[in-house]
């Protein structure tokens, strides 16, 4: 990792820890997913009796859809409001190092939020009949898909923070774009379009690719999609910063 990028990442991560953002994000994600998986009767594994974690990967993206923009909304907007952005950009750091450093800090926070849910996998492993009778491939693929989806959401949140100096506006914009990318394309199936057109439109959205990986199928096309969309928003963020007038 480039030293400049590492310096920005460390700065953002220390900011997370000092403001309790990291701890709150992990607790919120673990609490909400835990309630749906183990407590709420309509979703609980204990009620259905199946050794699977489908609930986690159905609820997880919706939790991240709100959690990630809440974390990233201050990346640039708060710095512009407080005036620290001018100090940041006068340092010998490239715009790309700043953007990727902030992105990696946000993505690391997503990883640390998702990591504790591995205890659910262990619990499921022990509860299964016979012990260990779980779909390991499907679970591994779902975790990989959730992390890649989290990366896209962090990229969107980073971009949303760069286009406004109001954190709340950044949050709302980030949630809207995350929702649009995840769910809007799937809703187009109700339109009277040809099967080919519907397939192409669905492939533009995150939902179809995440669903594919949740089945344990690691398709190279899905990986390319997630990486491409993430890089698109990061490059868009850098382009916005390069045209800054503040």
Cβ distance 129 to 203 under 8 Å? no
Task: Label each residue of 152-214 as H, E or C.
Answer: HHHHHHHHHHHCCCCHHHHHHHHHHHHHHHHHHHHHHHHCCCCHHHHHHHHHHCHHHHHHHHH
Over residues 217-226, the mean pLDDT reads 87
Q: What is the pLDDT of residue 5?
A: 73
Q: What is the pLDDT of residue 172?
A: 94
Q: What is the pLDDT of residue 84?
A: 62
Quick: pLDDT tens for 87-122: 566 666 677 888 999 999 999 999 999 999 988 888
Helices (H) and strands (E) in the chain, counts: 14, 0
Q: Which pTM value belongs to this model?
A: 0.88
Q: What is the pLDDT of residue 204?
A: 77
Cβ distance 56 to 117 under 8 Å? yes
Quick: pLDDT tens for 37-55: 877 766 676 666 565 677 8
- Look over the chain and give the mean of its residue pLDDT values, rounded to a whole number: 81
Comparing 31 with 246, the larger pLDDT belongs to 31
Burial class (CB in 10 A: 0-12, 13-18, 19+), 223: middle
């Amino acid at each position: 990792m480039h030293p400049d990028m590492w310096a920005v990442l460390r700065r953002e991560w220390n900011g997370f820890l000092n403001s309790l953002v990291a701890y709150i994000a992990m607790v919120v994600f673990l609490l909400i997913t835990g309630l749906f998986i183990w407590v709420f009767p309509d979703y609980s594994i204990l009620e259905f009796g199946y050794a699977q974690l489908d609930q986690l990967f159905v609820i997880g993206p919706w939790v991240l859809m709100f959690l990630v923009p809440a974390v990233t909304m201050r990346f640039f907007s708060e710095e512009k409001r407080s005036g620290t952005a001018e100090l940041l950009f006068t340092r010998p750091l490239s715009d790309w190092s700043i953007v990727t450093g902030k992105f990696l800090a946000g993505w690391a926070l997503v990883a640390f939020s998702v990591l504790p849910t591995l205890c659910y996998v262990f619990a499921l492993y022990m509860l299964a009949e016979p012990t260990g009778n779980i779909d390991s491939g499907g679970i591994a693929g779902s975790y990989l898909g959730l992390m890649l989806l989290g990366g896209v959401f962090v990229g969107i949140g980073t971009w949303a923070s760069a286009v406004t100096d109001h954190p709340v506006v950044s949050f709302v914009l980030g949630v809207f774009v995350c929702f649009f990318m995840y769910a809007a394309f799937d809703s187009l199936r109700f339109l009277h379009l040809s099967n080919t057109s519907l397939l192409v439109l669905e492939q533009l959205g995150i939902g179809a690719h995440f669903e594919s990986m949740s089945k344990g199928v690691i398709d190279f096309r899905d990986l390319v999609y997630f990486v491409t969309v993430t890089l698109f928003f990061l490059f868009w963020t850098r382009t916005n910063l390069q045209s800054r007038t503040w």
